[in-house]
Amino acid sequence: MAKHVGFDAYGVSSAGELTESINPFNRWISSGMNGEMGYMERNADKRLDPTILVPNAKSVVSVLLNYFPGNPIISTKPPKISRYALSVDYHTVIKEMLWQLLDSLRKEFGTINGRAFVDSAPVLERAWAQKSGLGWIGKNSMLINPKIGSYTFLGELIVDADIEPSTNQVPNRCGSCTRCIDACPTGAIISPGNVDGRKCISYLTIEKKSPLTLDEQKSLSGWCFGCDICQEVCPWNSKIEIQTLPSISPKKIVLEINEEELSVISEEKFTKTFSDTPVSRSGYNRFIQNCYGSKA
């Protein structure tokens, strides 16, 4: 059903408190590792229990969609943009697919009420995906699916219907590998599965609103929006297929920009090129600063 809509994988969990996530999440917040992401502290109860977020919630349907676009120059040669941000904003695309999935569920189970979520609400997406049997949380804190790796968009339907939970849990297969930890230029992965957001290049180029320090600018390692380093070195991403779904394929106008143009792009060209992509979130001025800082 979910694959008919276009998702690569899906799983189901019974809605309820994520008891195994409470202590790790609270420690992460109390240590200040969320940095300026104050929204992570708000609605913690809803983040840890979807029955508070969605009244009468009984099931969480988690989905994955591979977005890997290959290795375009704009993501491999500074100033670099993370692969997930090369296409139109995934929030809109995935949410529309989730509503299609909900319609399919209604045809099978009858009246179902619920909400769709895509990375913009208090939902611990990776925890639910893991619980639904879609993979494991890697040492870089990313969800890793054994067939499609970690270059995936996640989404959820939280509904008021009792849907049989998935029974096949995927064991952690990172083993003794530490490639992501060793490759992180800022040392943001402080322990397996535990990332200090304040050091993460994705945080520095997207989430942090205050000016970057000189040391932070020098730490960007060629990235001006996001960072893919821990995914690039992960063995589970070495053989994944390139996604060809038109709705999340890189925009031609984005792929055609070269590094010289990117650092001196006008605000008008920036808006024309990135207004409907995740890159617009940084804003023009911060993006230009990141581009210069990525070369420091």
**160 belongs to the catalytic site:** no
On whether the CB atoms of residues 166 and 11 are closer than 8 A, the answer is yes
Q: Is the peptide bond before 250 cis (omega within 30 degrees of 0)?
A: no
Give me the catalytic one of 119, 182, 196, 228: 119
Q: Cα separations (Å) of 216 from 33, 52, 201, 223, 289?
A: 16, 38, 9, 12, 12
- For residue 128, which of 57, 30, 176 has the smallest C-alpha distance? 57
- For residue 66, which of 239, 288, 209, 245 has the smallest C-alpha distance? 245
Tokens 């060209």 locate to 269
Residue 75 φ/ψ region, left for φ over 0, alpha for ψ in the -120 to 50 degree band, beta for the rest: alpha
State residue 144 phi and psi, 5-degree precision.
Answer: -115, 120
Active site residues: 119
